[in-house]
Amino acid sequence: MQPTTKDLLEKLETKFSAIGQDLDTHLEGLLYSEPITYWDYIKTDALLSLQIQRTELPDEMIFIMYHQVNELLFKMILWEIEQISECEHITAPFFSEKLMRVSRYFDMLTASFTIMREGMDREQYLKFRLTLTPASGFQSAQYRLIEFASTDLINLIDARFRDTIDRDTPYEHAINHLYWQAAGKDFKTGEKSYLLSSFEERYKQEFIDFTQKYNTTNLYAKFKLLPKKVKEDPKLVKTMRHYDHTVNITWVMAHYNAAKYYISGEKPEDNVEATGGSDWVKYMHPKYQRRIFFPEVWSAEEIKNWGQDL
Ligand code: HEM
């Protein structure tokens, strides 16, 4: 039943007096306030003023906008993960429903990668990219936050160093051995490239704080805390596998293939260096990175063969 005007006024009186406010002043304010519009609410003018090219090549605009779309979706993903992480009494349907939202966002990103692979002119890309060195999507902080919020830190450590790191290892040290350090570090000298050092200078503290926050509330930690019966719910297991596979195999391969098309070109002599300067052909392939967020939902055989058939 619709509340009456009298009911609404009583409720408003209760609400405003609880915070020491005079209801009449707020009601009178309604006489003068402007009605909301779509453009004020969505902030379209601000949003559409953020696409600034560094060259006059038209396809650079696609490159900028597609990255921005990715960042917005990354934010949506982090938003959903936070709901799971902060929920104290999680049920299998709640977990699955939120995780499926996250997976669908990642499915969107994966499917839409053709916009990068087929939606730009390679000749133009090879020109405007020269103005972007040494920046790289590698420096997307939200992408790293998604990883930290998805799994235990140990699963993001470079496989070569996992035995040297446990729950008592200081965060600073663990972060120095994350798998993605390999893209920007000479492991013989330990020297970091500008790609990596500038990224860390800007975000390292934020990453440490975030990792601490998600230490016991990341998706995998939350899953492991569920009662055995809930953990074995086939729909939940399927959702966990889907998310892990989408992020760590399907998206990675869509990205890898785009990189291959633009950077390697059709013939060996077309090969150029990545803007971030990493040994990307090796670094980006799932069979080398072996990133797996939820090892418990895969068989030993599946883990052994991760990314091998690609
Ligand atoms: C033409 C399109 C693209 C090319 C050629 C490309 C190329 C590369 C390369 C070569 C790397 C390795 C680091 C380096 O040396 O730069 C990299 C890393 C990365 N790129 Fe892209 N990229 C493209 C589009 C995108 C888009 C749309 C996103 C979305 C935000 C993105 C996000 C990332 C991320 C997160 C990494 C780090 C991946 C990891 O650590 O495994 N890239 N990219």
CA torsion sign, 182 to 184 to 186 to 190? negative
Atom 36 of ligand 1: nearest residue by CA position: 138
Tell me which of 255, 264, 279, 293 to substitute to probe ligand 1's pocket, judged by most ligand atoms within 8 Å of the beta carbon.
255
Domain extent, residue 293, equals 58-304
* Beta-carbon count within 10 A of 142 CB: 15
Q: Residue 187's pLDDT is what?
A: 64
List pLDDT tens digits, range 70-83.
999 999 999 999 99
Which residues does the chain have with pLDDT short of 50? Answer: none
In a domain, 37, yes or no: no
Q: How far is the CA of 138 from the centre of ligand 1 (A)?
A: 5
- Atom number in ligand 1 closest to CA 277: 15
Q: Residue 54's pLDDT is what?
A: 97
Q: Residue 77's pLDDT is what?
A: 97
- Atom number in ligand 1 closest to CA 278: 15
In a domain, 254, yes or no: yes
46 residue type, one letter: A
Beta-bridge mates of residue 126:
none
How far, in Å, are 150, 223, 246, 308 from residue 287 at the CA level?
20, 25, 15, 6
Q: Give 146's contacts (C-beta < 8 A, 6+ positions apart).
A: 74, 77, 78, 81, 247
Tell me which of 66, 113, 136 to substitute to probe ligand 1's pocket, judged by most ligand atoms within 8 Å of the beta carbon.
136
Residues in the chain: 310
CATH number (domain holding residue 212): 1.20.58
List pLDDT tens digits, range 19-55.
999 999 999 999 999 999 999 999 999 999 999 999 9
Q: Give 137's contacts (C-beta < 8 A, 6+ positions apart).
A: 67, 143, 255
Whole-model pTM? 0.93
Q: Residue 58's pLDDT is what?
A: 98
In a domain, 230, yes or no: yes
Q: Residue 25's pLDDT is what?
A: 97
Q: Is 155 in the pocket of ligand 1 (CB under 6 A)?
A: no
Percent of the chain with pLDDT over 70: 99
Q: Is 143 in the pocket of ligand 1 (CB under 6 A)?
A: yes
Spatial distance between the Cα atoms of 148 and 291, rounded to a whole number of angstroms: 12
In a domain, 271, yes or no: yes
Q: Residue 61's pLDDT is what?
A: 98
Indicate the SS3 state at residue 157.
strand
In a domain, 43, yes or no: no
- Tell me if 52 sits within 8 A of 60, measured CB to CB: no
Q: Is 277 in the pocket of ligand 1 (CB under 6 A)?
A: yes
Q: Residue 186's pLDDT is what?
A: 74
Spatial distance between the Cα atoms of 130 and 45, rounded to a whole number of angstroms: 30
- Count of domains in the chain? 1
- Atom number in ligand 1 closest to CA 284: 41
In a domain, 36, yes or no: no
